C-alpha cells in the first residue's frame, strides 16, 4: 500500500485527497476555497472528523501548508510524518505539445510548465506553486504531474487546427489543446459504464469557476470548447469565453488598452463577474431569485452558450447518447441544468424537474422517461483519476 497525496490547484481553490493505493481508500480529503478573498474557508475531513474553518489564505502556499498541518495533527491527522507520503500527484492545466502523458517532475518539467504561464495564467502559476511548496513540505516524496491537456490529444487535426497560416500550426504549435481533461476522462468512464455501451456519443459538461465541454465518441475526445489557452468557449466565473477577435483590436487600438490589460480583462474581469459583479454562481443565483435583472440575464447567457455547444457537438458526432453535468456548478446547480435542458425537444433532451432538484453526492440520472438522451449528473473525482495515474507511474 502506498499513500498518495493529490493536489488540485485551481484558479481560486485548492482541493486535496490523501488516497491509499491501490485500495483507493480515501484517508483524508478537503479543500480551501475562495483563495485570495477575505472569506476563504478550509474544509478538512478524515474519518469521522470534519472541520470547516475560516482561513487567511492569501495564496496557494498558505493553503497547502494549512492542509499539511491538519494531515499531521496529533488530534485529527492521519499520518505521523511526511515520509508516509510515497508520492504527490499534481494536476497541471497546460502541457502544450511537451507532455502527452503523466510524468515525474524534475527541473526541466517545471521550466516547461513555467513557459506555459502565458497560455494558462490563472492555473499554471498556481499549479507550479503547488509543486514547489510540495517539494519543500515533502522532500522525500516523488512529485508527479498529470496534465489536463493529455486527454485531448485524440482530437483530430480538422478540429484542432485554426484557420490561420499553416506555419503557425507546424512551427509554433498554435492549436486547440483542450483542458479539464482529467475530469472529462473520469466522468466519461463512469457514463460509459452506466450506458453499458462502448460505442457511445457523450457530451461532457464541466461547469465550475472554469467551464468546458467535450464531445466524446467511443471514449475519446473528439472536440472541446477550450482551445489554445483556457479562456474561450463557455462563459466562466471571471473568463469571457468566446468573443469576436475584433473586440481585442478595438480595445487596444481605439480604447488604449495594453495587451496585458486585455489579457487581465478577459481572464480576470469578465465572465459572470464582469456581467454581475459576482464570480460565484451561488451568489448570482441568489440575486437572480431576488429579482436582480442583470444576474437573471447572466444566467440566461450562460445557459444559452452551453446549448449552442450541445448543438454543435451533436452535429459533429451525428447524435448524442448522453449529457454529463459535472464539477461544482454542474453537480449542484439545478437552476443551470434546467435552463440548459429546457426547450431541447428537437434533440430528444427532456429533463425530469423533480429528479433535477434532488441533491446528492452520487451519480444519478435526471432525464424524463420519454427523453431519448440520458442526462447524467456525475460527481467528478479528478483526484482519484490523478491517483490512479500516479500509482501506475511509480509502481
Terminal C-alpha separation, the chain: 10
pTM of the model: 0.84
Please say which residue of 95, 125, 152 terminates a domain.
152
Calpha distance 191→194 (Å, rounded): 5
| CATH code where residue 37 lies | 3.30.420.40
Helices (H) and strands (E) in the chain, counts: 15, 14
Q: Are residues 138 and 201 in the same domain?
A: no
Residue 55 domain flag: yes
In this structure, how many other beta carbons lie within 10 angstroms of the beta carbon of residue 158?
7
Residue 285 domain flag: yes
Q: Which listed residue (69, 140, 148, 223) is catalytic?
A: 148
Q: Are residues 216 and 118 in the same domain?
A: no
Please say which residue of 152, 185, 212 terminates a domain.
152
Taking each helix axis as running N to C, give the angle between helix 281-289 and helix 293-317, from 0 to 180 degrees, rounded to the nearest 10: 120
Cβ-based neighbours of 167, under 8 Å, separated by 6 or more: none
* Binding-site sequence positions for Mg(2+): 8, 382
Total of domains in the chain: 2
* pLDDT of 73: 83
Calpha distance 263→266 (Å, rounded): 5
Q: Are residues 130 and 213 in the same domain?
A: no
Q: Are residues 302 and 372 in the same domain?
A: yes
Q: Are residues 77 and 221 in the same domain?
A: no
Residue 349 domain flag: yes
Reduce the secondary structure of 167-197 to three states and give it as a string.
HHHHCCCCCCCCCCHHHHHHHHHHHHHHHCC
Residues of the chain with pLDDT > 90, as a percent, come to: 72
CA contacts within 13 A on the Cβ side of 185? 21
pLDDT digits (tens, 9 = 90+) for 273-324: 999 999 899 999 999 999 999 999 999 999 999 999 999 999 999 999 999 9
* Binding-site sequence positions for ATP: 15, 206-210, 280-282, 328-332
Domain hosting 253: range is 197-377
Q: Are residues 136 and 70 in the same domain?
A: yes
Instruction: Give which of 383, 395, 376 is closest to 186, Cα–Cα.
Output: 383
Residue 159 domain flag: no
Residue 394 domain flag: no
pLDDT digits (tens, 9 = 90+) for 201-255: 999 999 999 999 999 999 999 999 999 988 999 999 999 999 999 999 999 999 9
Q: Where does the chain show beta strands of DSSP type E?
A: 2-9, 13-21, 25-33, 41-46, 49-54, 85-92, 103-104, 142-147, 201-207, 211-217, 220-224, 322-326, 364-365, 374-377
**Annotation marks residue 59 as catalytic:** no
DSSP type of residue 138: -
* Binding-site sequence positions for substrate: 91
Phi, psi of 150 (to 5 degrees): -65, -35
Q: Is the model's pLDDT at 198 over the cut of 90?
A: no
Calpha distance 184→313 (Å, rounded): 15
Amino acid at each position: 500500500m502506498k499513500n498518495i497525496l493529490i493536489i488540485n490547484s485551481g484558479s481560486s481553490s485548492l482541493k486535496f485527497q490523501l488516497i491509499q493505493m491501490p485500495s483507493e481508500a480515501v484517508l483524508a480529503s478537503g479543500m480551501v476555497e475562495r483563495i485570495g478573498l477575505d472569506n476563504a474557508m478550509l474544509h478538512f475531513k478524515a474519518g469521522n472528523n470534519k472541520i470547516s474553518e475560516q482561513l487567511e489564505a492569501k495564496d496557494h502556499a498558505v493553503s497547502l501548508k494549512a492542509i499539511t498541518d491538519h494531515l499531521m495533527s496529533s488530534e485529527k491527522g492521519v499520518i505521523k510524518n511526511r515520509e508516509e507520503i510515497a508520492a504527490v500527484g499534481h494536476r497541471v492545466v497546460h502541457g502544450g505539445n511537451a507532455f502527452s502523458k503523466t510524468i515525474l517532475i524534475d527541473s526541466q518539467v517545471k521550466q516547461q510548465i513555467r513557459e506555459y504561464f502565458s497560455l494558462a495564467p490563472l492555473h499554471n502559476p498556481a499549479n507550479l506553486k503547488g509543486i514547489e511548496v510540495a517539494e519543500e513540505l515533502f522532500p522525500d516524496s516523488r512529485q508527479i504531474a498529470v496534465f489536463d491537456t493529455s486527454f485531448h490529444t485524440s482530437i483530430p487535426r480538422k478540429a484542432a487546427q485554426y484557420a490561420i497560416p499553416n506555419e503557425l500550426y507546424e512551427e509554433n504549435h498554435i492549436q486547440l489543446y483542450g483542458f479539464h481533461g482529467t475530469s472529462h476522462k473520469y466522468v466519461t468512464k463512469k457514463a460509459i459504464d452506466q450506458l453499458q455501451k462502448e460505442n457511445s456519443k457523450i457530451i461532457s459538461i464541466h461547469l465550475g469557476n472554469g467551464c468546458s465541454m467535450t464531445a466524446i465518441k467511443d471514449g475519446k475526445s473528439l472536440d472541446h470548447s477550450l482551445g489554445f489557452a483556457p479562456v474561450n468557449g463557455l462563459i466562466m466565473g471571471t473568463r469571457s469565453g468566446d468573443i469576436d477577435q475584433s473586440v481585442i483590436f478595438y480595445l487596444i487600438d481605439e480604447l488604449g488598452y495594453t495587451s496585458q490589460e486585455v489579457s487581465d480583462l478577459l481572464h480576470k474581469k469578465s465572465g459572470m463577474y464582469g456581467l454581475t459583479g459576482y464570480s460565484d454562481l451561488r451568489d448570482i443565483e441568489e440575486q437572480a431569485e431576488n429579482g436582480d435583472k442583470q444576474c437573471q440575464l447572466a444566467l440566461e447567457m450562460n445557459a444559452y452558450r452551453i446549448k449552442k455547444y450541445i448543438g454543435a457537438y451533436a452535429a459533429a458526432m451525428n447524435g448524442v447518447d448522453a449529457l454529463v453535468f459535472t464539477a461544482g456548478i454542474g453537480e449542484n446547480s439545478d437552476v443551470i441544468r434546467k435552463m440548459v435542458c429546457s426547450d431541447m425537444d428537437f434533440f430528444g433532451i427532456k429533463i425530469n424537474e423533480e429528479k433535477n432538484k434532488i441533491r446528492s453526492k452520487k451519480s444519478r440520472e435526471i432525464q424524463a422517461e420519454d427523453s431519448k438522451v440520458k442526462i447524467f449528473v456525475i460527481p467528478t473525482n479528478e483526484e482519484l483519476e490523478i491517483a490512479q495515474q500516479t500509482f501506475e507511474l511509480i509502481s
